[in-house]
Amino acid sequence: MKEAILYLQDGTKFYGRTLKETGETIGEAVFNTALTGYQEVLTDPSYTGQMVVMTYPLIGNYGVNDEDMESDTIHVQGFVAKEFCRRPSNWRSKKSIIDYLNEHKIIAMEGVDTRALTRHLRLSGAMKAIISTEDFDPKSLHAKLDKAPSMEGADLVKDVTTSKKYVWKAQGPRRYKIAAIDCGIKWNILRIFASLGCEVHVFPATATIKDIMSIKPDGVFLSNGPGDPAVVGYVITTVKELLGRLPIFGICLGHQILGLALGGKTYKLKFGHHGVNHPVKDFEGNRIGITSQNHGFCVDASSLNLDEVKVIHTNLNDQSIEGIRHKKYPAFSIQYHPEAAPGPHDARYLFKQFLEMIEQNKKQYA
C-alpha cells in the first residue's frame, strides 16, 4: 500500500493509496454509478484505455467469482474507489477483489473522495488522468498527460478484438448462425445468444464481408467495444457493405458504427453514460426500460438521414439517442447494453427481436 496521487488533465488533484501495484498509469477518468457489478466492469473490454471511478464507496464486498467474467482479463487502465473490501462474503466468491487486482497488476487506488471526483468529472467532463505513486509533481504529471493519446481519435478496437475467428456454441440444438464482428465483445452477449440457440462465429474486427459471408450466417452482430467509433473505418466499411444483405444488430460501439455506416456522425458526451439506472423509452414497444449503460460517444441525432433511419429508443434523462432502425433494411442497433452484466434485464427482449428479424428475413428470401 502506497500513497498515490490522481492527477487530472485540468490540474485537479486527488490523493489516496494504491493496492499492491505501484507505479504510474494513464487513462481517461470516467465514473460508473452501478452499486453492483464491479467484476463485470473490470473485465468489460469497452473500458480499455479508461480509468474507472466507482461511485459506490465499498467495492469488492462479494469478491470475485469464476462465472461473472465479461472477458478473460481485466481491461481498465486503473481502478478507483473509496474502499476495497479485504474480506468478501458470497457463496460464489473465489477471491477478494484486492487479490484479483493485484494478480492482474492493476493500479487501483482507494481512500479517494470519489464523490468529489465524480462531481468534478460531471462538471468538467471526462478527461485524461494519471495515477502515480512515484511522481507527485504537477508539472511533470501534466507533461505526461499531454503526451498520452486522447480518447477522441483513438482506435482501441485493435487492442481488444480477437486475433482469430472462434465459435461460441449454441446451448442445445443450433437454430441460427450469427456472425459477430468483435470490437471487444462482452461474454454475456455470447451467453445470451447461445441460450437462444445461436451459434456465434466471432470474427476479428478486421474481417471482410467475404470472410463473413463465407460462413453463410443468418445475421450479423456488431459488438460493443472501446474508443472512438469514428476511427474504425475498416469496420464501418464492412457494415456498409453488409447493409441490406444480412440482418444486422449492433450494441454500443456496434450501434455507433451502424450509425456512421448509415451516414450519421458521432460526438463525445461530456462525461458519458456509465451505470445501470438510465431510463430508456422504446417507442416501438411503447415501454420504458431501466438500462445498463457504458458509452462515452453518441450518435448525433441531427446527422441522421431520417428518410432512411428512425430513432427507436431515447434516453429519458438527456434525450440522447439510444437506438436506431433502418427503415428499409433489416438493421437496428442499441446504444446501451441489453445484455446487462452488470445491470437490469429489462431489455433482454431485443435479442429476440433480432432473431425475429432473422426469421422474417429468412421467410422473405425463402
Partner 1 sequence: MPKRTDIKKILIIGAGPIVIGQACEFDYSGSQACKALKEEGYDVVLINSNPATIMTDPGIADATYIEPLTLEFVEKIIQKERPDAILPTLGGQTGLNLAMQLYEQGILDQYGVEMLGAKHDVIKKAEDRSEFKAAAMKIGLDLPRSGFAYSLQEAKRVAEDIGFPCIIRPSFTLGGTGGGIARNGEEFEHIAALGIESSMIHEILIEESIEGWKEYELEVMRDHADNVVIICSIENFDSMGVHTGDSITVAPAQTLTDREYQHMRDCAIKLIREIGVETGGSNIQFAVNPANGRMVVIEVNPRVSRSSALASKATGFPIAKFAAKLAVGYTLDEIQNDITKETPACFEPTIDYVVVKIPRFTFEKFPEAKDVLGVQMKSVGETMAIGRTFKEALQKGLRGLEIDHSGLDNKQDYHDIDYEKIKLRLIEPNASRIFYLKYALQKGCSIEEVAQLSKIDIWFIDQIAQILELEQELKSAVASDGSLSPQLLRRAKEYGFSDAQLAEMMNKSEKDVRQLRQEHGIVATFKLVDTCAAEFEAYTPYYYSTYETEDEAILNNQKRQTPKKRIMILGGGPNRIGQGIEFDYCCCHASFALKEMGFETIMVNSNPETVSTDYDTSDRLYFEPLTFEDVMNIYDVEKPHGVIVQFGGQTPLNLARRLQQAGVPIIGTSVDSIDLAENREHFANLINQLKIAQPANASTTSKEETLLAAVRIGYPVLVRPSYVLGGRAMRIVYDEESLKSFLDEVHSVSRGHPVLIDKFLEDAQEIDVDAICDGKDVFIGGIMEHIENAGIHSGDSACVLPPHTLSKGILREIKEHTVLLAMSLKVIGLLNIQFAVKGSQVYVLEVNPRASRTAPFVSKAIGISLPKIAAQIMAGKTLKDFELPSSDELKYYCVKESVLPFNRFSGVDIILGPEMKSTGEVMGIATTFGAAFAKSQMAANQALPRSGTVFISVNDHDKRHVVLTAKKLVDLKFKISATRGTARVLRDNGIDAAIVDKHQEGQNNALTLLKKNEINLIINTPSGKKSQSDMRSIRAAAILHNIPCITTLQGAWAAVNGIEASLREEFTVESLQNLYVWNCWSQSS
Which are the catalytic amino acids? 252, 337, 339
Q: What are phi and psi of 125, to 5 degrees?
A: 95, 155
What is the spatial distance between Cα 240 and Cα 330, in angstroms, rounded to a whole number? 13
Question: Does 119 contact partner 1 by CB under 8 A?
Answer: yes
- Applying CB under 8 A, among 66, 67, 72, 307 the residue interacting with partner 1 is 67
- Applying CB under 8 A, among 27, 37, 219, 264 the residue interacting with partner 1 is 37
Provide CB contacts within 8 A for 186, sequence distance 6+: 40, 44, 45, 46, 70, 71, 223, 224, 337, 339, 341
Enumerate the H helices of the chain as residue ranges: 38-43, 97-103, 114-124, 138-147, 157-160, 187-195, 209-213, 233-242, 253-261, 349-365
- Applying CB under 8 A, among 25, 46, 48, 61 the residue interacting with partner 1 is 61
String of contacts with partner 1 for each residue 230-259, x by CB under 8 A: ------------------------------
What is the distance of C-alpha 175 from the center of its chain? 27
- Applying CB under 8 A, among 317, 327, 328, 356 the residue interacting with partner 1 is 317
Tell me, by CB under 8 A, how many residues bind partner 1. Answer: 53
Question: Does 49 contact partner 1 by CB under 8 A?
Answer: no
Cβ atoms of 76 and 106 closer than 8 Å:
yes
DSSP line for 233-272: HHHHHHHHHHTTTS-EEEETHHHHHHHHHTT--EEEEEEE
Question: Does 40 contact partner 1 by CB under 8 A?
Answer: yes
String of contacts with partner 1 for each residue 85-114, x by CB under 8 A: xxxxxxxx--------------------xx
Question: Does 36 contact partner 1 by CB under 8 A?
Answer: yes
Question: Does 118 contact partner 1 by CB under 8 A?
Answer: yes
Q: Which residues bind partner 1 (CB under 8 A)?
A: 14, 31, 33-37, 39-40, 55-58, 61-62, 65, 67-68, 82-83, 85-92, 113-116, 118-119, 122, 275-279, 281, 286-288, 290, 316-317, 340-345
